[in-house]
């Protein structure tokens, strides 16, 4: 069985979509653990599902590099084949990349390289873009700069707010992330 560790910070809708796809046999693998940098809905959901969970809080460490090492250790405890950042609101550092480089993927709510970083849907609307979407990409040391593995696009409708656009993009994310995870685990 291919173990997947999912890193989260928020609502966890991508985590739930991935778990559902695995349960329904649409995605191979198993969620070995859900790890967060803070208490959040995604961790609550994982606990309710009896999944292993861990919270590695940056504040508990004197330096960023120590937190990064602790995060890498927490992930390593589950010996995953793949690490999925699903709404993880921090940049993973050199310790995580050194141990899992090439096996860390992120889902981002824009058609990268357009609109990396925070508030991608707000950026797209403010730029006057007429389409956006989501990207699943390999994580490197930059902010949303790693090679794209797959993208899905949708229109930006007149009158869209950041929230309405994000809701449309999340439907795409929930479909695309399990497909990419499945294909990576098939290798
Ligand atoms: C997603 O839109 C993802 O693209 C971004 O953060 C959001 C997380 O949403 N990186 P959720 O917690 O999976 O609902």
CA of 86 to the centre of ligand 1 (A): 6
Using CB atoms within 10 A of its CB, is residue 25 exposed (0-12), middle (13-18) or buried (19+)? exposed
- CA dist., res. 164 & res. 157, Å (int): 9
Q: Indicate whether residue 133 lines ligand 1 (CB < 6 A).
A: no
Q: What per-residue confidence (pLDDT) applies to 186?
A: 95
Q: Indicate whether residue 86 lines ligand 1 (CB < 6 A).
A: yes
**Average confidence (pLDDT) over 152-164:** 98
Residue 21 reports pLDDT greater than 90: yes
Distances (CA, A) of 10 to 34, 80, 88, 154: 12, 22, 7, 23
- Per-residue pLDDT band for 101 (boundaries 50, 70, 90) equals confident
Residue 26 reports pLDDT greater than 90: yes
Residue 168 reports pLDDT greater than 80: yes
Nearest CA to ligand 1 atom 8: 87
CA of 107 to the centre of ligand 1 (A): 7
For every residue of 93-131, DSSP letters joined together read -HHHHHHHTTSEEEEESS-TTSS-SS-HHHHHHHTT-SE
- What is the number of the ligand 1 atom nearest to the C-alpha of 170? 2
- CA dist., res. 2 & res. 32, Å (int): 9
Helical packing angle, 41-48 and 13-23, nearest 10°:
30
- Per-residue pLDDT band for 1 (boundaries 50, 70, 90) equals low
Q: What per-residue confidence (pLDDT) applies to 38?
A: 98
**Average confidence (pLDDT) over 115-135:** 98
**Average confidence (pLDDT) over 91-104:** 94
Task: List residues with catalytic annotation.
Answer: 108
Q: Residue 155: beta bridge partners? A: 131
- 119 Rama class: left (phi>0) / alpha (psi -120 to 50) / beta: left
Q: What per-residue confidence (pLDDT) applies to 10?
A: 97
Q: What per-residue confidence (pLDDT) applies to 79?
A: 96
Mean of the per-residue pLDDT values of the chain? 97
CA of 87 to the centre of ligand 1 (A): 4
> What is the length of the chain?
187
Q: Indicate whether residue 12 lines ligand 1 (CB < 6 A).
A: yes
User: CB within 8 A of 139, min separation 6: which ones?
Assistant: 85, 92, 97, 104, 105, 106, 146
**Average confidence (pLDDT) over 146-172:** 98
Q: Locate 99 and state its tokens.
A: 């141990």
Residue 63 reports pLDDT greater than 90: yes
- What is the number of the ligand 1 atom nearest to the C-alpha of 134? 4
Q: Indicate whether residue 11 lines ligand 1 (CB < 6 A).
A: yes
pLDDT digits (tens, 9 = 90+) for 34-43: 999 999 999 9
């Amino acid at each position: 069985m291919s173990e997947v560790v999912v890193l989260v910070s928020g609502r966890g809708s991508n985590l739930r979509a991935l778990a559902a796809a695995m349960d329904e046999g649409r995605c191979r693998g198993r969620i070995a653990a859900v790890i967060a940098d803070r208490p959040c809905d995604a961790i609550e959901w994982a606990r309710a599902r009896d999944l292993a969970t861990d919270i590695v809080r940056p504040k508990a460490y004197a330096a960023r590099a120590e937190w990064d090492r602790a995060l890498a250790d927490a992930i390593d405890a589950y010996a995953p084949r793949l690490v999925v950042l699903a709404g993880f609101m921090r940049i993973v550092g050199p310790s995580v990349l050194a141990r899992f480089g090439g096996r860390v993927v992120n889902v981002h709510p824009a058609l990268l390289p357009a609109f990396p970083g925070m508030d991608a849907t707000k950026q797209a609307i403010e730029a006057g873009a007429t389409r956006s979407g989501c990207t699943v990409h390999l994580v490197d040391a930059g902010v949303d700069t790693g090679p794209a593995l797959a993208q899905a696009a949708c229109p930006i409708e007149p009158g869209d707010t950041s929230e309405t656009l994000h809701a449309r993009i999340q439907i795409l994310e929930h479909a695309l992330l399990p497909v990419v995870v499945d294909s990576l685990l098939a290798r």
